[in-house]
Amino acid sequence: MSALLAGATGLVGREIARLWRGPGPLHLLVRRPLAAPPPGCTVHVVDFAALPALPPAEEAYCALGTTIAAAGSQPAFRAVDFDAVLAFARAAQAAGVRRLGVVSALGADARSSNFYSRVKGEAEAALGALGLPSLVIARPSLLDGERSALGQPARRGEALALALARPLAGLIPKAWRPVPAERVARALLAAVAEGRPGVRVLDSAALQEMGAP
């Protein structure tokens, strides 16, 4: 059983690739070559704006995402978090994928007045309209993980929020407290493997529980 992963260079995508145990290969779709791909993974350098035909697969994972600050503008952010996400899902569906897991975000809502949350919600709606037999949407709260090891620029606001929240984690409801990227990856892998029909949304509390080691 082969699988596809877009976003392998991010916090959650890195953990999905690290935790992958097959039985088939995991095909990583990246924009730049990886220095040391995880065992059992095959790397494909692609342009998400013009994806080629993807290897046949039964399941896929999408952990693509950026921030408006990193992207540089709202249109550039949308090009990643909506256009690239939907393009990957369509290409994966054409490759035979029947089970798709996607990393979205807490507060995703297509009717939100907040641009970030609205784009995330619109992406979820567009994915649901594809009619995949099984779609799992993960909505994590603030992701906890080491970004410097990924070569990503520092996110000062995120770092400050994590520094303040970590000591108080036990007092913050599970739905709102920071969630380790590894837990999100474990939960998404488990939920996609279950293959429940229809659209299944996992909030951050569910991700905390399902992804516990």
pLDDT in tens, 60-102: 999 999 989 889 999 999 999 999 999 999 999 999 999 999 9
Report how far residue 159's alpha carbon sits from residue 173's, in angstroms, rounded to the nearest whole number. 20
Q: Is the Cβ–Cβ distance between 146 and 170 less than 8 Å? A: no
Instruction: Quickly count: other Cβ atoms within 10 Å of residue 191's Cβ.
Output: 22
Q: Sheet containing 59-62: give its strands across.
A: 41-45, 26-30, 3-6, 59-62, 99-103, 134-139, 198-203
Report how far residue 8's alpha carbon sits from residue 5's, in angstroms, rounded to the nearest whole number. 6
pTM of the complete model? 0.88
pLDDT of residue 144: 83
Which of 207, 157, 158, 151 is closest to 36 using CA atoms?
A: 151
Q: Which of 37-41, 169-173, 199-203 has the lowest mean pLDDT?
A: 169-173
Distances (CA, A) of 45 to 31, 50, 81, 86: 5, 12, 19, 18
Q: Is residue 57 scored above 80 in pLDDT?
A: yes
Identify the band that residue 201 occupies on the pLDDT scale cut at 50, 70 and 90: very high
**Cα–chain-centroid distance for residue 21?**
18
Task: Give the largest Cα separation in the chain, rounded.
Answer: 48
Report how far residue 99's alpha carbon sits from residue 178's, in angstroms, rounded to the nearest whole number. 27
High-pLDDT (> 90) share of the chain, %: 72
Q: Taking the C-alpha atoms of 58, 38, 32 and 61 in order, what is their torsion angle to the nearest 10 degrees?
A: 30
Give the residue ranges of DSSP H helices in 58-180. Answer: 68-71, 74-78, 85-94, 115-128, 156-165
At which residue do the structure tokens 């995330």 appear?
A: 120
